[in-house]
Structure 1
Amino acid sequence: MKKAKRIFTYGFLGVASFISIFPFLWMVVSATNKSVEVTKGRLLPGTYLIQNFKHLLESTDLGTALSNSAKISVITTVLAILIASLAGYGFEIFRSKAKDVVFNILLLSMMIPFAALMVPLYRMFANVSDAAPFFGIDSKVAVMLPTITTAFLIFFFRQSSKMFPKDMVEAGRIDGLSEFGIFVKIFMPTMKTTYAAAAIITFMSSWNNYLWPLIVLQSPEQKTIPLLISNLGSGYAPDYGLIMLAIVIATLPTALVFFLMQKHFVAGMMGSVK
């Protein structure tokens, strides 16, 4: 009975793993084939990888798109986790009925779909475009600002702060540290796993963000990598080998960040404090 149960368990896990991995495998294999071979469903590696890469560099501004995505993602991630952690720390350490009301309002804002906010956000940035082009339409700042502070990240840091030993705060105050000094010198090093998990989530979300950059970014030199991939697939006869190669390249940074911080990510999601 135990043997049959073990066989079923490993069999189920094997099938689930294959279903999860197959799309990535097919994507990598398709990047080495011609477009016609991809449409035929070829599942064997081809010899067209270098040609696809050369064609991608010649037909698109890949470097600019990657640079734009990297700048937006890195700056958004750093600012988002700093602001959200400050807010989460404040909500948990300095608790009051008024702060709980504000926090509940923040949680209610998570129920508003982004589609309902697009038009007001666009009009707001369009109104400041003439006076402050740096903050207006077709700027990186316009892409970053709506995603820097999110209710989810504040909620995530506040819940994680519940595991933070309050005695350390009192010890820091006795030693003469300011509240900001306690946050920087005690809270941040102690909650590094939470920061790692938040950084991964924010970076991946910002890197793969498509809808808002599509609306805000209008000039070709401001396009991000998701917009570049979308443009590749919008032609009359898309080159699927080229598209798959672009997707592979776009996937590498997020995959690298995740695998480098995987252990911290799991610990942070579990809410552990070390």
Structure 2
Amino acid sequence: MQKVPGYVFLAFAAVASVFPLYFMVVSATNTSNEVLASKLLPGTHLLENFQTLVGAQPLGTALWYSAIIAVGTTVLALAVTSIAGYGFEVFHTKAKDRFMALLLLAIMIPFAATMIPLFRMFADLGLVNSWIAVVLPAISTPFLVLLFRQASRSFPHEVIEAARIDGLKELQIFLRIYLPTMRPTFAAAAVITFMTAWNNFLWPKVVLVNNDVQTLPMLLTNIQAGYVTDYGMLMLAVLIASLPAMVVFLALQKSFAEGITGAIK
């Protein structure tokens, strides 16, 4: 009986957490007026909302650009930050500790302070309005470098020494030994990077100046920019934009928890 209040609280917390997702799914099947009336039962306008969305907005193009940016950012970020974290720990020196401290200070600098210099730099390079300008600033973040560095501390250095004695080079050690052992950390970093890149709005909105090149978060903003908003269509667009991030997180949920726990230890 002593556990009943705790379970009751957890049940209410679970319902409160799941309800926004439920309302989004249900609203995607209703008309705009039914959404405004807070109808909580599924409707019959899902296909109509989808046809309106496809006819009003370039959904396929937005999905394509979002996928390119999210996948490209994730792959490049994992490659760069994992090698950096490995190097910081395996080739440990006091100078690297001081440089790591400088990298951590970069976390405290708000993105708004660096946004204008970044835009001018990419404008000078002729990369404005391209997915490369969105991907490059995100492939090396201090947080991911710290994540891999902390995870590398639990990696047995004796294995590295034995591999070196057997004649393996550093790149071979990284690919054949380090990478398979650190799969949970890679999964955690992949989830964080993919979700951040997929949901990123501010920087793509700044650097992708042409409406023909837009991501899903930008498309959602365009739907709300008119005089009259079709909330059924908007909720369907939000649902479509949320699905890839949810699928990635659910697929890597167990490895994500193991990777975060291992990095903290």
TM range (shorter): over 0.9
Q: 75, 78, 82: which is aligned to 2:75?
A: 78
* TM-score normalized with structure 2 length: 0.98
In the alignment, what sits opposite 1:35?
32
Deviation at 1:41, TM superposition (A): 1.2
Report the counterpart of residue 99 of structure 2 in structure 1: 102
Distance 1:18 1:163 in 2: 38
Q: Which sections of structure 1, spanning at least 5 residues, go unmatched? A: 130-135
| Structure 2 partner of 1:126 | 123
CA distance in 1, matches of 2:6, 2:185: 32
Residue 22 of structure 2 corresponds to residue 25 of structure 1: yes
**Could you report, residue by residue, the CA deviation over 1:127-173 in whole angstroms, capped at 9, with x for unpaired residues?**
222xxxxxx11010000111111000000100111111111111111
Answering whether residue 155 of structure 2 is matched by residue 164 of structure 1, we say yes
Tell me which amino acid in the other structure corresponds to 1:98: A
Corresponding residue for residue 52 of structure 1: 49
| Aligned residue among 212, 216, 221 for 1:221 | 212
Q: Give the drift of 1:179.
A: 1.0
Task: Give distance in 2, aligned partners of 1:97 and 1:266.
Answer: 31
For each residue in 1:95-140, what CA deviation from the matched residue of structure 2 results, as whole angstroms up to 9, or x when unmatched? 11111111100000000000111111111111222xxxxxx11010
CA distance in 2 between partners of 1:117 and 1:18 (Å) = 40
User: Could you state the TM-score of these two structures normalised by the residue count of structure 1?
Assistant: 0.94
Counterpart CA distance in 1 for 2:79 and 2:121 is 25
Which residue of the partner structure matches residue 177 of structure 2? 186
Q: Which amino acid aligns with 2:122?
A: F
Secondary structure of 2:48's partner? helix
Decide which of 33, 49, 61 is 1:64's aligned counterpart.
Answer: 61
Query: How many Å separate the matches in 2 of 1:242 and 1:45?
Result: 14
Aligned-partner Cα distance in 2 for 1:39–1:195: 42
Query: Match for 2:244 among 253, 257, 261?
Result: 253
> What is the CA–CA distance in structure 2 between the aligned matches of 1:148 and 1:230, rounded to whole Å?
25
CA distance in 2, matches of 1:207, 1:128: 24
Displaced runs of 4 or more, over 2 A: none
2:234 is paired with a residue whose SS is helix
**What one-letter code is carried by the residue in structure 1 that aligns with 2:27?**
S
CA distance in 2, matches of 1:261, 1:150: 21
Partner of 1:221, secondary structure, is: coil
Deviation at 1:220, TM superposition (A): 2.4
SS in 1 for 2:109: coil
Q: Distance in 1 between matches of 2:180 and 2:105?
A: 30
Mind listing any 5+ residue stretches in structure 2 that lack a counterpart?
none
1:147 aligns with 2:147: no
Q: How many Å separate the matches in 1 of 2:26 and 2:209?
A: 33
Find the aligned partners of 1:49 and 1:249 in 2 and give their Cα distance. 12
Structure 1 position 221, deviation (Å): 2.5
| CA RMSD in angstroms, aligned pairs only | 1.1
- Return the offset for 1:187: 0.4
- 3-state SS, counterpart of residue 220 of structure 1: coil
